[in-house]
Every structure is written in structure tokens, then in C-alpha cells.
Amino acid sequence: MRILYLIILIVAGLMAYVRFAPTDIARWHQVPEVTAPGDTEGPGSFLAVRRINAPAADVLALAEQRALATPRTRLLAGSVAEGMMTFQTRSLLWGFPDHTTVAVQDDLLVIYGRLRFGQSDMGVNKARVESWLETLAPLTEPL
């Protein structure tokens, strides 16, 4: 019985750590420099770059609106005026945080989603970024 209590305590401790670990905003509030449209998938991350055909402020305002409409998502840093925003989206059950940064570099929209814990997100970041891109499609050029 003690082993069961110990397992429950360990699981509860891990859940608490995932939910309450401090976030180093400077680490997450950044995107790579990009030069051309395209998609790049990495372990636990997805980077989408699209050429925009509308003012950057309009694209970023719509991106912010779409991001905040995503369940369990909040703005961590940045603003439309700054030209870059970083959002945190937590998974439903465990509360694992994923970070998605949206920025405009010259005439390119950059959306960079990545996980904080683990090695694989099972395609969650890619699906989120692609769903945001669907909303932004009228303001961007297709690949």
C-alpha cells in the first residue's frame, strides 16, 4: 500500500511541477531569422513562414485574435505594436505548456510552435500552427 501512495505522490508532484514551473519568457519570446516561405518540422516543434499580402499590424492583430480563441491559450509576451507575440497553450489533462511565437520579419509571417517538456508533441504544435494559418490565409500567400 505504501508503494501505491508513493506512486501517487510522485505523479502529483510531476503534475504540480509541469503546471507551476516558472517560465523564462526571454527563452521563449523569440523566433529564428527566416529568409523565405516554407515549413520546417522538428522534434516537438513546427515552424511556418508565409509571405503576407496585408499590413503587418493587420496580420498580427488577426493572429492574436485567433491565438486567444484557442482553448487554454494566453499571451505571455509581446504585442501587435511590438511586431512579435508569444503565446502559451496548455494541454487539457496534464497542463503541459507549448509556446507559440508569432512575428513579422519584413514581409514574412513567422509562426513557431514548440514544446517545453519532453521530446515529442505527437503533432500538436503542427496542428495548432496550421489551424492558425487557416484563419490567416486571406492575409497571406499560399506556399
**C-alpha span between 7 and 1 (Å, rounded):** 10
Q: Sign of torsion, CA 93 97 102 105?
A: negative
Q: Sign of torsion, CA 24 68 55 139?
A: positive
pLDDT digits (tens, 9 = 90+) for 56-73: 999 999 999 999 999 999
* pTM, two decimal places: 0.91
pLDDT digits (tens, 9 = 90+) for 22-51: 899 999 999 999 999 999 999 999 999 999
Name the grid cell of 26: 526571454
Task: Give the chain's domains with CATH numbers.
Answer: 23-139 (3.30.310.80)
Give the position of cell 529564428.
32
